[in-house]
Structure 1
Amino acid sequence: MGDFIMNKFEEELAKYKQFEKDREKNIHNRQQLEGQLTENNLVKTELDLLEDGATVYKLIGPVLVKQDLTEAKQNVEKRIDYITSEIKRLEETIADSVTKQENQKQTVMRLQNAVTQRFRNK
């Protein structure tokens, strides 16, 4: 009985640690997306300052390629929309993983108490 409880405790603790790693990874990804969103908002602001017909260049590899201002604005808007939706998706994922982690924490604590009781009774 004691070995079963101890094995179950270790198994549940490993799950808890995995939830924590997943949450940290998602938080890191969200921070990267926030940086990209900030960059794209700055680009949008700069493009909005330009007058119609202004020359805009896009960096593709080591080459600057001329791009239509309207097309450039549309591309930046699409990127902002995509990044915003990804941030929202990650926030939902993070909230879900926090809930799972809290539930797993309760399970680990119950098993830890059972293991402690088992060793006290020996």
Structure 2
Amino acid sequence: MASSSSSALRELQHELEAKASDLNKLQKDIAKNHQVRKKYTIQLGENELVLKELDLLNENANVFKLMGPILVKQDLAEANANVRKRIEYISAELKRLDGTLQDLEEKQNSKKDAILKLQQRIQALQAGKAKA
């Protein structure tokens, strides 16, 4: 009896280690998601600011786009359209990241619950062993 409970205990501890490792990986993925989301949020703010500036210009204003080390003259309507497309793309990426984050957080909570249950089973086994 003692060897079978000892073997079960070892098995549960290995399972606990595996789940803890999975949880650690999920937490790293969540942190990475937050970093990327922060970068996109900053870009969105910058592009919205550029769009406001473009809206203040009159139709015949000169607009330049930085391409490498060179400023290239660009049509105001084209510049406006490009900034709007960029804002649309960034907003879509933020929405996608939010969905991914929600999924990761649900998985994280599920792993935490599974780890807690495993810890309780291990404690119960150890308590049973101590009584014997």
TM range (shorter): over 0.9
- Unmatched runs of 5 consecutive residues or more in structure 2: 1-7
Name 1:21's counterpart in structure 2.
Answer: 28
The alpha-carbon deviation at position 112 of structure 1 amounts to 1.1
- CA distances 1:1-58 after superposition (whole Å, capped 9, x unpaired): 1111000000011111111111111111111110000000000000000000211011
TM-score (norm 1): 0.96
In the alignment, which residue of structure 1 is the partner of 2:51? 44
Identical residues among aligned pairs (%)? 41
Matched, 1:112 2:119: yes
The aligned residue for residue 121 of structure 1 is: 128
Q: For 1:112 and 1:11, how far apart are their aligned partners in 2? A: 13
TM-score, normalization by structure 2: 0.89
Aligned residues: 122
Match of 1:58 among 65, 84, 89: 65
Structure 2 match to 1:68: 75
Q: Which residue of 1 aligns with 2:5?
A: none
Q: Based on CA coordinates, which of the two structures has the bigger radius of gyration?
A: 2
> CA RMSD for the aligned pairs?
0.9
SS in 2 for 1:121: helix
Where structure 1 has 5 or more consecutive residues not aligned to the other structure, the ranges are: none
The one of 10, 13, 20 aligned to 2:17: 10
| Deviations, residues 92-113 of structure 1 (Å, cap 9, x unaligned) | 1111111111011100111111
Moved over 6 A (4+): none
